[in-house]
Structures are given as C-alpha cells and as structure tokens.
A = this chain, B = another copy of it.
Amino acid sequence: MQLYLEKLKEGGLKLTPRRQAIIEFFVDGKSHLTPEEVWKKLKKRFDRCGLPSVYRNLESLVKCGILTKIQQFDRKKHYGLCSAVHGDYHHHHITCIECGKVDEIKDCAIGDAKKIKGYKVVSHFIQVNGICADCSRG
C-alpha cells in the first residue's frame, strides 16, 4: 500500500478512505472491475457513496498509474491494477473470460514501431482473452 500512497502523492491526489478501499478491491481481488462493481463493493463499507465519485476515482487512479483501463467488447469500462506500478514498462493484458483475472503480456509486436504501412503510429491497443490455467483445470 505504501507504493500506492507514493503514486497518489506524485499525482497530487489525496488518500481518502474511499480511494484506499478501491485500491484494496483491486489488490485483493486480482481481477478487473467495472465502475458498477466497484460501487457495489464500496457501498458495503460506506453508508453513503456516490457512483460519480467512483467514476472520478477510477480515472484519477489511472492517471497516476495505479490502475489501467482494460478494453472489453461490452459497453462498460473495465479497470485493473496495473502492475507496471512496479516500474514503468510497455505492456498489454490477457484476461480470463471465466474468472476475470488479468495478467500481463510483456512482449509486444507493435512495441516502439514508429511506422506501420506508411502510418505514423500514435497509439495501439492489444487485448487477449483466454482461459487461465486455474479455470482450465476446473
């Protein structure tokens, strides 16, 4: 948690009880969560808490590098703990479609390619969906 505190401070963000709880959800759960899922968990701990705050907090936590957005094919936003918090490196994610666990893919084919097919590459996105070893055994 110390590490996250530093990241927050770096980003000029306060450590609030809600924020701390949100970070814990991701650290403990080891899976990605939607804003609504975070909200449901949060409501168990706090009498009053608003969904807009959850949205704001998740975005803040992405900005300061604690969380990462995970693009899925539904219309919801998904967030996961970005282990690049342990040192910043370029990576993408693989997600288990059964249990929602998120792992990292460290080698990326696009990598730091400056040009592809005559295009100046600005950004890229890779998402792999699969079934993790645990769920395969199950």
Contacts and interface: CB of A to CB of B under 8 A. Distances in A.
Given A71-B71, A73-B71, A75-B75, A129 B124 contact: yes
A3 interface: no
Given A97-B122, A125-B71, A125-B125, A130 B105 contact: no
A74 B19 CA distance: 25
Interface residues of A, number: 31
B128 A110 contact: yes
A59 interface: no
Interface in A102-138: 103-105, 108-110, 116-133, 136
A127 B124 contact: yes
A126 B126 contact: yes
Contacts of A133: 118-119
Given A116-B130, A122-B131, 8 more contacts: A71-B71, A75-B75, A94-B121, A108-B109, A118-B132, A121-B129, A123-B128, A125-B127
